[in-house]
């Protein structure tokens, strides 16, 4: 998930008055299941790029659906089965523990000309669950690698996916026409696509995304436990602390299922992270400044990868 300095303002989600880009898929009816940060941002992007003439919102929270309408993110809301029947594209962006049953429900209702896309942060559980479904080919399993610590339709932003990566898993199991449509959408949104099997996706996601959130949650708990003066935290916290602990503001209802679904990989990376922390602890306890510098210099190598 990427850094975001300030909470997105509501005006960022207002419908654009700019002409949309003409596209072969212009005029599609799109259902967004889960009109939050990702789903809401996707709805805005699909309209802005000309992929959707109508956006239907589906969700359990009526207040959120109403807010999405007020912000012009969706055009209307309705129950899932009714929405699916009317849609060319169904985009599923909900917590991963709900993604499997909802995706199966959607696949039970779609035909050969409809495309189902999921945006979950874990992939193995979903891909295993749909493997033998007769409409598996209509699903394109994706993970757009973008997000912020905010949630709900108010968090949706325009241009969210520009310059980001999107992982597509098990593309060989998707219908060729469905896959091409999804690739076109993500490319038009400015994303570069990475193809990966579900198992490797979950391994890499644990290292580049999931551990960052656990570390942030843990650091926030550490500071809250040790620093009892909230005013001191507010006044003294610099940019380094703010950027490191930012993810601790993320929605637990979304992240707890991610950690549990990807438990084995998260535990593996967490054990390595704890091992690294112990090395820093040991260097301080033994006043071994040479080893401390060595640890930091080794960490500096990340500059070759992340500028």
160-196 pLDDT tens trace: 999 999 999 999 999 999 999 999 999 999 999 999 9
- Contact between 121 and 96 (Cβ < 8 Å): yes
Give this prediction's pTM: 0.86
Six-digit token string for 29: 């009816």
Give the integer Cα–Cα distance in Å for 295 and 79.
54
What SS3 class is residue 238?
coil
**50 closest CA partner among 81, 78, 80, 24:** 24
Give the integer Cα–Cα distance in Å for 204 and 200.
6
Q: What dotted CATH number matches 202-304?
A: 1.10.3660.10
pLDDT-derived band at 3 (thresholds 50, 70, 90) equals: very low
Give the integer Cα–Cα distance in Å for 264 and 85.
38
- pLDDT 10s digits, 6-48: 444 333 333 333 333 334 445 799 999 999 999 999 999 999 9
Instruction: Give percent of the chain with pLDDT exceeding 90.
Output: 81
pLDDT-derived band at 225 (thresholds 50, 70, 90) equals: confident
CA 208 to chain centre: 13
Q: Pick the more confident residue, 80 or 224.
A: 80
- Contact between 30 and 91 (Cβ < 8 Å): yes
Q: What is the bridge-based pairing of β-strands 115-118 and 89-92?
A: parallel
- pLDDT 10s digits, 188-224: 999 999 999 999 999 999 999 999 999 999 999 998 8
Q: Enter the DSSP assignment of 173.
A: G
* Tokens 């989600």 sit on residue: 13
Across the chain, mean pLDDT equals 90
Extents of the domains making up the chain: 10-197, 202-304
- DSSP state letters, 94-159: S-HHHHHHHHHHHHHH--TT-EEEE--S--HHHHHHHTT-TTGGGEEEEEE----S--SGGG--TT
What SS3 class is residue 184?
helix
Give the integer Cα–Cα distance in Å for 107 and 111.
8
- Contact between 31 and 83 (Cβ < 8 Å): yes
Homologous superfamily in CATH for domain 10-197: NAD(P)-binding Rossmann-like Domain (3.40.50.720)
**142 closest CA partner among 35, 38, 251:** 38
Give the integer Cα–Cα distance in Å for 32 and 111.
17
SS3 of 202-235: the string is HHHHHHHHHHHHHHHHHHHHHHHHHCCCHHHHHH
Six-digit token string for 118: 């999921």
pLDDT at 237: 67
pLDDT at 52: 96
* Tokens 């310059």 sit on residue: 163
């Amino acid at each position: 998930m990427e850094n975001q300095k300030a909470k997105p303002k509501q005006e960022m989600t207002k419908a654009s008055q700019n002409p949309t880009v003409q596209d072969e898929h212009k005029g599609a009816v799109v259902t967004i299941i889960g009109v939050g940060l990702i789903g809401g941002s996707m709805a805005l992007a699909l309209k802005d790029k000309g992929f959707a003439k109508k956006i239907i919102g589906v969700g359990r929270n009526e207040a959120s659906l109403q807010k999405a309408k007020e912000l012009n993110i969706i055009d209307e809301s309705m129950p899932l089965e009714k929405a699916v029947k009317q849609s060319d594209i169904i985009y599923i962006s909900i917590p991963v523990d709900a993604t499997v049953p909802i995706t199966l429900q959607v696949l039970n209702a779609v035909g050969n000309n409809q495309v189902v896309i999921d945006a979950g942060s874990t992939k193995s559980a979903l891909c295993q669950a749909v493997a033998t479904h007769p409409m598996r080919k209509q699903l394109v399993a994706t993970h757009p690698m973008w997000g912020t610590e905010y949630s709900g339709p108010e968090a949706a932003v325009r241009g969210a996916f520009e310059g980001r990566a999107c992982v597509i898993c098990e593309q060989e199991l998707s219908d060729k026409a469905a896959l091409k449509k999804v690739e076109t959408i993500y490319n038009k949104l400015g994303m570069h696509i990475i193809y990966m099997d579900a198992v490797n996706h979950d391994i890499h996601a644990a290292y580049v995304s999931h551990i960052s959130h656990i570390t942030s949650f843990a650091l926030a708990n550490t500071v809250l436990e040790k620093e009892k003066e909230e005013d001191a935290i507010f006044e003294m916290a610099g940019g380094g602390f703010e950027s490191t602990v930012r993810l601790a503001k993320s929605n637990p209802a979304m992240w707890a299922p991610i950690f549990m679904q990807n438990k084995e990989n998260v535990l593996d990376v967490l054990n390595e992270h704890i091992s690294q922390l112990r090395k820093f602890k040991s260097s301080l306890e033994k006043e071994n400044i040479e080893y401390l510098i060595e640890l930091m210099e080794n960490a500096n190598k990340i500059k070759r990868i992340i500028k």
